[in-house]
């Protein structure tokens, strides 16, 4: 870290050695399982790392937003899944333009979305590929039963301009049994009425390492695994040494013996707790607790620390949630085990549309 020239804090540092290891390990695991890997770029939002993931063997990428997909297609990505219900004339027009430049797949969990997609693609050169999103227990989007999945799949298959391409879910962590049973039953329903159900897409870094052999899932969409974070350490999904992303911050004040204030607050670390206590891990002061965040200040309780950081000292924070941190920064600093490589723009930062 100290090798990064003119580093001003707060700053995001990415260790590309760890990134490379994380990409290789995930690809090896899914290659062994015979499951396609389609990493979610929401975590890094960097063309540089999407290219690495594809070079390592990923079949394509996953985006959450149309504007993210636009950024990556513009940079040359040829196969993009957008795991979001797309609605509205403006977004559908953008999706149509995007589909003329790359293989795009979207999801739908209701008939309103299917009708909108069908109207937008009825006269397109090629049909839009649509997966049925299934709720396997997260209680977010998704049809509520395998029967409802097969029903919506039929509607897609019958809709002008659309091609039923399979099923998708974002399950809660470690719910593989539920995913397997829901998706097998939904697939059987689709096979019975439509005769095909190519893709069964699941995802999530927390459950990644326990995807079972012989799974019905044909592709997996992990995102955070490329960087990892404090929430994944807490879940036992990675170790500190697997965390590629750290936020460098400066101790700007030590108002009392047990309090330090950092120049990194909620506009740097976000307020995501993800069930944890504290807003991040001070790598070199693990007993310290980031007990609160103002917008630009991190409040650190040093009560439990034998050794305490001084004013002016740079500290490294492993954030609770890497994905929201990179979205707050225009640029990140890439290094390899402390040797500075390059400062790069976060290509899809703020791509919220």
Could you tell me if 86 and 66 are in contact, meaning their C-beta atoms sit under 8 angstroms apart?
yes
**Residue among 328, 352, 323, 329 nearest 225 (CA):** 323
Encode burial over 122-140: b for 16+ CB neighbours within 10 A, e otherwise.
eeeeebbbbbbbbbbbeee
Per CB under 8 A, 29 contacts its own copies: no
**Which residues within the stretch 314-333 sit at the binding site for its own copies (CB under 8 A)?**
323-324, 327-330
The pattern of x and - marking residues 267 through 286 that bind its own copies according to CB under 8 A reads xx-xxxx-------------
Per CB under 8 A, 345 contacts its own copies: no
Per CB under 8 A, 303 contacts its own copies: no
Count of residues touching its own copies (by CB under 8 A): 60
Q: Which is nearer to its own copies, 88 or 160 (CB)?
A: 88
| 145 Cβ contact partners less than 8 Å away, ≥ 6 residues apart | none
Among 58, 61, 143, 233, binds its own copies (CB under 8 A): 143
Distance in angstroms (rounded) separating the CA atoms of residues 301 and 258: 6
Per CB under 8 A, 141 contacts its own copies: yes
The pattern of x and - marking residues 96 through 135 that bind its own copies according to CB under 8 A reads -------------xx-xx--x------------------x
Per CB under 8 A, 253 contacts its own copies: yes
3-state secondary structure of 52: helix
Strands 103-108 and 128-134: parallel
**Residue among 64, 71, 101 nearest 86 (CA):** 64
Per CB under 8 A, 259 contacts its own copies: yes
Stretch that binds its own copies, among 22-30, 47-55, 252-260, 336-344 (CB under 8 A): 252-260
Q: Which is nearer to its own copies, 194 or 324 (CB)?
A: 324
Q: Which is nearer to its own copies, 76 or 88 (CB)?
A: 88
Among 36, 261, 289, 317, binds its own copies (CB under 8 A): 261
Distance in angstroms (rounded) separating the CA atoms of residues 182 and 255: 55
- Smallest gap, in angstroms, from Cβ of residue 204 to its own copies? 11
**Residue among 172, 181, 116 nearest 149 (CA):** 181
- Smallest gap, in angstroms, from Cβ of residue 241 to its own copies? 25
Per CB under 8 A, 91 contacts its own copies: yes
| 329 Cβ contact partners less than 8 Å away, ≥ 6 residues apart | 11, 12, 268, 346, 349
Could you tell me if 284 and 246 are in contact, meaning their C-beta atoms sit under 8 angstroms apart?
no
Among 42, 187, 221, 308, binds its own copies (CB under 8 A): 42
- Smallest gap, in angstroms, from Cβ of residue 316 to its own copies? 16
Among 39, 142, 171, 280, binds its own copies (CB under 8 A): 142
Distance in angstroms (rounded) separating the CA atoms of residues 30 and 198: 18
Per CB under 8 A, 308 contacts its own copies: no
- Smallest gap, in angstroms, from Cβ of residue 81 to its own copies? 14
User: What values do phi and psi take at 216, rounded to 5?
Assistant: -75, -20
Helix 89-99 and helix 111-121, axial crossing angle in degrees, nearest 10:
60
Which DSSP category does 321 fall into? -
Per CB under 8 A, 139 contacts its own copies: yes
Among 160, 177, 311, 338, binds its own copies (CB under 8 A): 311
For residue 96, with 0-12 CB atoms within 10 Å meaning exposed, 13-18 middle and 19 or more buried, which class applies? Answer: middle
Output the DSSP codes for 62-102.
Answer: EESSHHHHHHHHHTT--EEEEEEE--SHHHHHHHHHHHTTS
Judged by the rule CB under 8 A, the positions of this chain that interact with its own copies are 6-10, 42, 64-65, 84-85, 87-88, 90-91, 109-110, 112-113, 116, 135, 139-144, 250, 252-256, 259, 261, 263, 266-268, 270-273, 294-297, 299, 310-312, 323-324, 327-330, 349-350, 352-353
């Amino acid at each position: 870290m100290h090798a990064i020239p003119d580093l001003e804090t707060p700053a995001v540092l990415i260790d590309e050695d760890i990134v490379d290891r994380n990409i290789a390990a995930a690809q090896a695991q899914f290659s062994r399982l015979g499951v396609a890997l389609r990493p979610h770029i929401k975590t890094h939002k960097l063309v540089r790392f999407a290219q690495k993931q594809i070079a390592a063997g990923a079949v394509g990428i996953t985006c959450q937003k149309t504007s993210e997909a636009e950024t990556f297609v513009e940079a040359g990505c040829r196969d993009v899944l957008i795991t979001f219900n797309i609605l509205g004339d403006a977004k559908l027009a953008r999706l149509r333009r995007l589909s003329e430049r790359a293989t795009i797949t979207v999801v739908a969990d209701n008939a309103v979305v299917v009708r909108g997609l069908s109207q937008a693609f009825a006269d397109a050169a090629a049909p839009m590929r649509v997966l049925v999103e299934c709720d396997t227990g997260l209680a977010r989007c998704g049809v509520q039963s395998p029967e409802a999945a097969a029903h919506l799949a039929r509607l897609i298959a019958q809709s002008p301009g659309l091609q039923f391409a399979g099923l998708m879910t974002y399950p809660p962590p470690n719910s593989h049994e539920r995913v397997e049973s829901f998706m097998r039953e939904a697939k059987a329903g689709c096979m019975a009425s439509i005769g095909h159900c190519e893709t069964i897409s699941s995802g999530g870094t927390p459950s990644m390492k326990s995807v079972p052999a012989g799974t019905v899932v044909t592709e997996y969409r992990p995102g955070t695994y490329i960087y990892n974070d404090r929430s994944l350490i807490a879940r036992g999904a990675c170790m500190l040494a697997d965390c590629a992303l750290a936020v460098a911050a400066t101790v700007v004040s030590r108002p009392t013996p047990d309090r330090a204030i950092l120049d990194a607050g909620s506009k740097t670390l976000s307020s995501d707790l993800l069930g944890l206590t504290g807003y991040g891990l001070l790598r070199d002061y693990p007993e310290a607790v980031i007990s609160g965040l103002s917008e630009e200040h991190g409040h650190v309780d040093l009560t439990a620390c034998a050794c305490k950081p001084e004013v002016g000292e740079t500290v490294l924070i492993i954030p609770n949630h890497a994905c929201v941190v990179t979205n707050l920064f225009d640029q990140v600093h890439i290094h390899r085990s402390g040797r500075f490589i390059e400062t790069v723009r976060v290509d899809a930062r703020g791509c919220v549309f």
